[in-house]
Structure 1
Amino acid sequence: MLYLCLKYIHVIAAVFLFGFGMGSYLYLIAASRTANPQVIAHVARAVVRFDTWITTPAGFIQIITGYLLLTLAGLPLTTEWVMTSLIIFLCVGALWLPVLVLQKRLFVLASSAVETGKTLDDQYLPVYRKWFWLGICGFSGMFVIVMIMVTKMTPWRLVGLLA
């Protein structure tokens, strides 16, 4: 029963991590496409809050419940699919702090434009592009992790079975 409860929490945390993360990402993309500093500032403020208070804790819950599930199942961390997903998870996590910093910077740039009554300055687009591409990398990794968790296979093993 404990295993099933932990697995449920692990899956719900994954839904929050992926769902809130993707939602925040898409909302900030949509807001940025308007080029309206007021819209961008409003959305960026919410995105920073959601990612700080919901998405980030969900990532820590993933680590804790994943470790407990492995322990209860008697699987070593060195199990190929476990180690692969953990490495990808850590790589995605390493992108997280820069993403949060860039989101905060986008908020500051948009808020500054609102306060001065001007349009977005030339600094916004380069910061946005970095944030956008880090998001692509992060979510690509998350898609692979979900595939690994569902199949219990590494990507190269799965490709080998399909070939």
Structure 2
Amino acid sequence: MDYLLLKYLHVIAAIFLFGFGMGSYLYLIAAHRTGDTRVIAAVARLVVRFDAWITTPAGALQLLTGYAMVRLTGMDWSGGWLLAALLIFFGVGALWLPVLALQKRMQALAAQACASGTPLPAGYQRLYRCWLWMGVAGFAGMFLMVLVMVSKLAPWQWF
């Protein structure tokens, strides 16, 4: 496959990964702030769906196109910036998988509360706080990864 096509797909995947991920994150925060179980359940259901159908496949495409570009160009896998980008990518991925599970559980708890006409349980609040801070860490990692890939410098090479 042509390098420029791979690079194009890689950038598009990054846009989808970052854009849909951030959109989902912000919408679920906004829904949570309403305190309305109907709103939270509905938005969380959509966030889970979009993350499964768009964000997660974009992450897979990101990895596949990156791998193909490295193979095509013969780059050294242990090169500073490439190694840093991979470590950050897998670190963010390690946060992403539990976030998906937390979102599904939060959606189920909000739907139960909505159906029974009760407030959100304390367990929901604990899940939300964990989800929120994992999101902060994940997006910090994504910002760092984009910086590494654009600068082609590992963080330890910046100084």
Residue number in structure 1 paired with 2:29: 29
Q: Which moved more, 1:77-86 or 1:114-123?
A: 114-123
Q: Distance in 1 between matches of 2:54 and 2:155?
A: 29
- Secondary structure in structure 2 of the residue aligned to 1:123: helix
- Secondary structure in structure 2 of the residue aligned to 1:148: helix
Runs (5+) with no aligned partner, structure 1: none
Residue number in structure 2 paired with 1:13: 13
Q: Distance in 1 between matches of 2:57 and 2:124?
A: 28
Runs (5+) with no aligned partner, structure 2: none
Q: Distance in 2 between matches of 1:33 and 1:121?
A: 15
Q: Which 4+ runs in 1 deviate beyond 3 A? A: none
* AA partner of residue 111 (structure 2): S
- Secondary structure in structure 2 of the residue aligned to 1:77: coil
TM alignment of 1:2-151, pairs within 5 A? 2-151=2-151
Quote how far apart the aligned CAs of 1:153 are.
Answer: 0.5
- Secondary structure in structure 2 of the residue aligned to 1:76: coil
Q: Percent identity?
A: 58
Q: After superposition, what is the alpha-carbon deviation per residue over 1:89-110, rounded to whole angstroms, capped at 9, x for unaligned? A: 0011011110000000110110
- TM-score, normalization: structure 2? 0.97
Quote how far apart the aligned CAs of 1:131 are.
Answer: 0.3
- TM-score, normalization: structure 1? 0.95
Quote how far apart the aligned CAs of 1:121 are.
Answer: 1.6
Q: Distance in 2 between matches of 1:25 and 1:13?
A: 18
Quote how far apart the aligned CAs of 1:156 are.
Answer: 2.7
* AA partner of residue 46 (structure 1): L
Give the number of aligned pairs.
159
Q: Distance in 2 between matches of 1:33 and 1:123?
A: 16
Q: Distance in 1 between matches of 2:29 and 2:45?
A: 13
